[in-house]
Amino acid sequence: MKLYRLAPFAIFVVYLLGIFAAQFALGANLSSLIFVSDLDDTIRVSQILSRTDHHLNTAVNYTSSKMPFSHMPELYSQLLADGAGFQYVSSIPKPISGMGERFIKNSGFPAGKLWSREGKTKADHKISSIREIMRQNPDHKLVLLGDNGEHDPEIFAEILKDSYMGPRVEAAFIHELYAKNETLPAGEKPFFTAGDLAVSLNEKGLLERDAALKILKRTVRSLHPDPGLKAQSRQHLTYPFFAEAPEERLRAVLTPLSANTPDAEIKGEMSHLQNALVSRAQHTKPLGCLRNLLLRLAIGIKGIRTP
């Protein structure tokens, strides 16, 4: 066969490769994924394990747009722009689910159905809701996001072990805020801030490098030490004062995450993040429930946001 007869085919192959390369350069394509997120202590500052603070949550925070964890709306919005879908599974009771829906909307999180609880235990509600999301979206995989305030690690572990649901889970992340002296079940990855979550998503190919670095840098900047109320409020919304992760746990999670990235700039910012969180773990505990409540009231009243 003469070589010139292969020219059209070669041109077509080069054309296809160009298309694929362009799509890769534009960022991740997440159209086959649905991110299923909890609300309290996952994306909303709640301190759910404090009974006193829980009453403040219901009375003040669900009606406020000022209490999402810093940069989580930005991170979720970037994932939405990359094609991902969003749904929210929360233990919030059905009669007050409208408060949760307003929080999602007013805080700038992507729109998505809120699965609220009615007549079931918290665990049964979350498992059955996630199973139903899978049933309604047979061509999608799910990314699960919860926290270690109550039962999400155990719930996710049960889902991951299930023969139907387990293979449908692309990844599972747990927002670690409380010291419980236990390791996460297999298949679950911890995070402390939007910044290290963004890096973990990048590591799994779910978020492009530039987007992850942008969120990481803003997270580090939000933790910059400053005695002023605005700066303290900004720090609280990034990594709250009630967070109990010990220094050893912070290092055990963040050091390998930093070491695994070949990107020097991300590695440097991860070092700054780790140092900031370790410093807070060393110097801000215990601050006491009263100071937490006063600070959070100040955030709600003054409308302090993270830049």
pLDDT in tens, 54-66: 444 444 444 444 5
Q: Which of 2-6, 18-22, 77-81, 223-227 has the lowest mean pLDDT?
A: 18-22
pLDDT per position as a tens digit, 221-233: 999 866 565 667 7
pLDDT of residue 306: 47
Structure tokens, 160: 């991951």
pLDDT value at position 94?
92
> Residue 300: pLDDT band by 50, 70, 90 thresholds?
low
Percent above pLDDT 70 for the chain: 75
Residue 19 has pLDDT above 50, yes or no: no
Amino acid 192: pLDDT: 97
pLDDT top residue among 18 and 98: 98
- What count of residues does the chain have? 307
For the purposes of burial, counting CB atoms within 10 Å of the CB of 17, is it exposed (0-12), middle (13-18) or buried (19 or more)?
Answer: exposed
Q: What does the pLDDT read at residue 183?
A: 86
Q: Is pLDDT of 174 > 70?
A: yes
Domains of the chain with bracketed CATH: 28-302 (3.40.50.1000)
The predicted-structure confidence for 177-204, as pLDDT tens digits, reads as follows 998 877 899 999 999 999 999 999 999 9
Task: Round to whole Å and give the CA distance between 230 and 172.
Answer: 33
pLDDT of amino acid 2: 52
Calpha distance 146→113 (Å, rounded): 16
Which structure tokens are listed for 193? 């801030």
Q: Give residue 150's pLDDT band: very low, low, confident or very high (50, 70, 90).
A: confident
Q: Which residue has the tokens 């900004």?
A: 234
Under a CB-based contact definition with an 8 Å cutoff, are residues 188 and 254 in contact? no
- Report which of 100, 55, 91 is spatially closest to residue 289, judged by C-alpha positions: 55
At residue 36, the pLDDT reads 98
144 membership: H or E segment, kind and range: strand 141-147
Q: What gap in Å lies between CA 285 and CA 231, rounded to an integer? A: 17
Angstrom distance (rounded) from CA 274 to CA 276 = 5
Q: 3-class SS at 82? A: coil
Q: Which amino acid is at 89?
A: V
Q: Does the pLDDT of residue 215 top 90, yes or no?
A: yes
pLDDT for position 60: 46
Structure-block tokens of residue 80? 């939405």
Mean pLDDT value across residues 85-93: 96
What's 183's DSSP letter? P
| Per-residue pLDDT at 290 | 52
Tokens representing 113 are 């159905």
Angle 209-222/229-238 helices, nearest 10 degrees?
140
Q: In this structure, what are the phi and psi dihedrals at residue 170, rounded to the nearest 5 degrees?
A: -75, -40
pLDDT of 223 reads 92
pLDDT tens for each residue of 233-257 = 778 889 988 888 899 999 999 999 9
Kindly report the average pLDDT of the chain as a whole number: 83
